[in-house]
Structure 1
């Protein structure tokens, strides 16, 4: 895990009052044409397993033996007991033509999200500037979170607190140049040239990845077809991933999302699909399910091994108390191989777990 120095935290705390003062000046001088904003979130959680280990060390034969805590091999929210996620502060400026976003993170979730950044920038989640040529054409240069997939890094942007296998093994972030354009009121497109995936500070191999997106949206929902293609290292063949993300309000209280993806690097990779039904039971409380099927390719996969099948059923409640969101969550992972350890240190193919998360978004 990457270390975050105290000096960096001091710098952030020092800059926030300046940023707040700047936002006041911008709002006074350019209220009608521009907007400076500060937003973000903090999150913490409790996690326990019903049928697996809840500690990272076991006493066997009188000696301590290090064990990997039994947890799904997905990103974030995997530590046992009471744990923290991340603190996220997003500074943004939106003018008539130009703007920027500086998205800073600290904490374990933030470190995991920027795992290929160098230590000098391991608090930067996003950092980009953009220029709007007109209402239908915008250029962006810098580092931004991926456009693939249904889920996002920030817990405030997801209904489920834990994350899917498809999200965990797809890209997190890109650095490069992209152009967004509108075809009409409903159709949009995007083209990008980027560093290898998740190398956010610079390009270490001199190879580039290309990305594209075609989107459709109306008042009821949206659908996006996404793809990336390019070599990710000096030894790998080109990675290809195609991804469909869509979600629709079927009634005033029922929403249905879908994510389907396929990724391959010379026959090594995965494919999968997930449904995200969500039901609003009151103004402040809702229930959401993630039902995911994830299959690793026969030549190899990034998680449990070649030709392994994973099923993830995650039921999440979401209770909104103003800016505070409480999320109790039940999750069942069922794998076609015995990849977990139960409480008796015996191999098992399934894991049932519970998470209680608190997220404050501002």
Structure 2
């Protein structure tokens, strides 16, 4: 029996298969090209707040001695605009800030009249190694400058007494899924534009399972030798309960001064939109040649309610320092109680 073959049908099948392969290849190339295409992203935040102080004696001094959010009445925090350009292996970030919080973070007159928070370039040398050069926010501490990234709106004494940013070169290494290492060489403490003294600082960070041990060595901190050791971490006690931890020890041989302290951050999520958290902090700074200490305890209770990209944060804070404040009669007061309501929008 003669076998009949429909050559036209076979040719159509073959042509269709070739077209499918070509189309799939084109789609794959398009996706690969899209992934490799440079990406420009714009993000940022705007925050404002209302703050008042109250005390039985009528406290006249309303500044707790920590950075940012210390004005009374209605006040602006800062406006923040971040432009990041990612070209795959290389990229750049420009972070601009304005307002009182931005001025405080950049020392007002530091680099272009205090508007540049971060400005750096980076090179992904490999999947596990990244080099960064320029000005970048500090790796020390639990809290950061950007208010939307902190649970509490006001900041801690540990954060306020550490460096805010560094100017230099750092290398980040992903040692494994759970371990990381950063090493860097930078200008001295809070010298973010140039180092005119010939002195430099060195930093290192070891990350392990979400915990970070930080080391900072500065040959020119306030005219002397400075060293800081800092631990930052946290643990998910349950799906709704998180406990953050920050502890630090700092010393400076120029005036035989420094500080040390510890802060705990228990936080409970009561729903997808609302969480409540406490910051309990003990802080001590050495004075008079290291013989005496300023003992500080600060309790901050903060609520956080999210509506899309808007976060509302009501906050009660109590600072206790022996003779650290003055009342309306000019007499020394040991405590300062304040309330703040902050609104933060991020995009």
Distance 1:54 1:124, change over 3 A: farther
Look up the match of 1:214: 206
Look up the match of 1:310: 296
What is the CA distance between 1:120 and its match in structure 2? 2.3
What is the CA distance between 1:30 and its match in structure 2? 5.5
Q: Distance in 2 between matches of 1:287 and 1:133?
A: 41
Look up the match of 2:34: 31
Task: Describe the SS at the equivalent of 2:228.
Answer: strand
On the 8 A contact 1:236/1:265 being kept in 2, the answer is no
For the pair 1:332 / 2:318, whether they are aligned, the reply is yes
What is the CA distance between 1:237 and its match in structure 2? 2.0
Q: Distance in 2 between matches of 1:172 and 1:358?
A: 23
Q: Distance in 1 between matches of 2:165 and 2:196?
A: 15
Q: Distance in 2 between matches of 1:32 and 1:75?
A: 41
Q: Distance in 1 between matches of 2:334 and 2:59?
A: 17
What is the CA distance between 1:298 and its match in structure 2? 5.1
What is the CA distance between 1:35 and its match in structure 2? 2.5
Residues 214-233 of structure 1: per-residue CA shift (max 9 Å, x gap): 0013xxxx100001111235
Q: Distance in 2 between matches of 1:171 and 1:360?
A: 26
Look up the match of 1:246: 233
State which of 285, 304, 321 in structure 1 corresponds to 2:307: 321
Task: Describe the SS at the equivalent of 1:166.
Answer: helix
What is the CA distance between 1:121 and its match in structure 2? 4.6
On the 8 A contact 2:59/2:325 being kept in 1, the answer is no
Q: Distance in 1 between matches of 2:310 and 2:91?
A: 29
For the pair 1:274 / 2:263, whether they are aligned, the reply is yes
Task: Describe the SS at the equivalent of 2:151.
Answer: coil
Q: Distance in 2 between matches of 1:101 and 1:329?
A: 32
Q: Distance in 1 between matches of 2:302 and 2:230?
A: 24
On the 8 A contact 1:54/1:81 being kept in 2, the answer is no
Within 5 A, what are the aligned runs for 1:3-152? Answer: 31-33=34-36, 34-51=38-55, 69-115=61-107, 118=110, 120-152=112-144
On the 8 A contact 1:146/1:171 being kept in 2, the answer is yes
Distance 1:211 1:252, change over 3 A: same
Look up the match of 2:213: 225
Q: Distance in 2 between matches of 1:270 and 1:114?
A: 22
Q: Looking at CA atoms only, which structure, 1 or 2, has the larger radius of gyration?
A: 2
On the 8 A contact 1:116/1:199 being kept in 2, the answer is no
Task: Describe the SS at the equivalent of 1:112.
Answer: helix
TM-score (norm 1): 0.83
Residues 272-322 of structure 1: per-residue CA shift (max 9 Å, x gap): 000000000111000010000001125458xxx941100010000000011
What is the CA distance between 1:116 and its match in structure 2? 7.0
Give RMSD over aligned pairs. Answer: 2.1
What is the CA distance between 1:346 and its match in structure 2? 2.1
Look up the match of 1:352: 337
Residues 165-212 of structure 1: per-residue CA shift (max 9 Å, x gap): 000000100000000001111100011000012222221322100000
Q: Distance in 1 between matches of 2:108 and 2:337?
A: 31
Task: Describe the SS at the equivalent of 2:163.
Answer: coil
Task: Describe the SS at the equivalent of 1:41.
Answer: strand
Say how many residue pairs are matched. 314
What is the CA distance between 1:343 and its match in structure 2? 3.2
Q: Distance in 2 between matches of 1:332 and 1:204?
A: 41
State which of 194, 197, 200 in structure 2 corresponds to 1:202: 194
